[in-house]
């Protein structure tokens, strides 16, 4: 996927260098959640770390000073 999106790294559900760990966490999190918002895995290309975010936690206008731009690698 080539979609850029802004997230505050402090809102991440999980982070890890190994994308397989993020995928496992996403599957477990999705199974336990009552709300069915989309989860996304993004990658920080500066340090090769992957993050798991809920789409509803993307940075709005008030968080842009803390937000970073990421490319979505996978949606769950």
pLDDT single digits (tens) 30-68: 888 777 778 999 998 889 999 999 887 666 544 667 788
Q: Give 62's strand partners.
A: none
Given this model, what pLDDT does residue 30 score? 86
No. of H helices and E strands in the chain?
1, 5
pLDDT at 13 over 90: yes
Q: Rounded CA gap, 57 and 36, in Å?
A: 13
CB atoms within 10 A of CB 3: 11
Whole-number pLDDT of residue 64: 66
**What predicted TM-score, i.e. pTM, was given to this entire model?**
0.82
């Amino acid at each position: 996927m080539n979609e850029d999106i802004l997230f505050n790294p402090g809102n991440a559900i999980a982070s890890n260098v190994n994308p397989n760990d993020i995928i496992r966490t996403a599957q477990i999190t999705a199974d336990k959640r009552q709300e069915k918002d989309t989860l996304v895995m993004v990658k920080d290309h500066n340090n090769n770390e992957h993050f798991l975010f809920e789409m509803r936690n993307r940075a709005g206008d008030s968080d842009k000073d803390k937000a970073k731009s990421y490319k979505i690698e996978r949606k769950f």
